Copies of this chain bind each other. A is one copy, B any other.
Amino acid sequence: MEARVAPMAAHTGYRLIKLGEQLLDLAEHTLEATAVRPRHLNVLVTLLEHAELSQLELSALLGIDVNTMVTVIDHLEREGLAVRERNPRDRRRHVVWVTEAGRAEAERDTVLMRTAEAEFFSVLTSGEQTHLHDLTGCLLRLPAAVVPDS
């Protein structure tokens, strides 16, 4: 008795698309009870690491449309997690920075995400997880310097 399988699953590319869908669903579900959704957490964490980014730089770095970025930061401001200010040296630009509440939210949510991911990947051994981490980093052309996920 063999279970039916989608033949496209023979393609590694298809597998990665499916995994991406599952992991995005996992992220949405994990953050369900929080004030943010995955996209907002991504922006918060990025702002904590790279201070002084304009919205345009944020958009380029995260691959989020500039248009969408406006509403993401609208939401963060409304929730008191981030603040927009004019850049005094170029008043066309906004500098976005994270409030203390935003930092706390990001730290709490990062723990939630790490726990959920650990569970998701637990079917693999620790060594396999590291290997997957490295292979995906290579495909994304990430510099080796990126802190490993452990």
Instruction: List chain A positions with a Cβ less than 8 A from chain B.
Output: 2-21, 23-24, 26-27, 41-42, 45-46, 48-50, 61-63, 113-114, 117, 120-121, 123-124, 128-129, 131-133, 135-143, 145-149
Contacts and interface: CB of A to CB of B under 8 A. Distances in A.
A150 B4 CA distance: 21
Given A6-B46, A7-B46, A136-B19, A12 B61 contact: no
B45 A12 contact: no
A140 B63 CA distance: 26
A21 to B, nearest CB: 6
Given A16-B16, A20-B16, A7 B49 contact: yes
Contacts of A20: 16-21, 23-24
Contact of A45 (B8, B132, B136): B8
B135 A128 contact: yes
Nearest to A62: B6
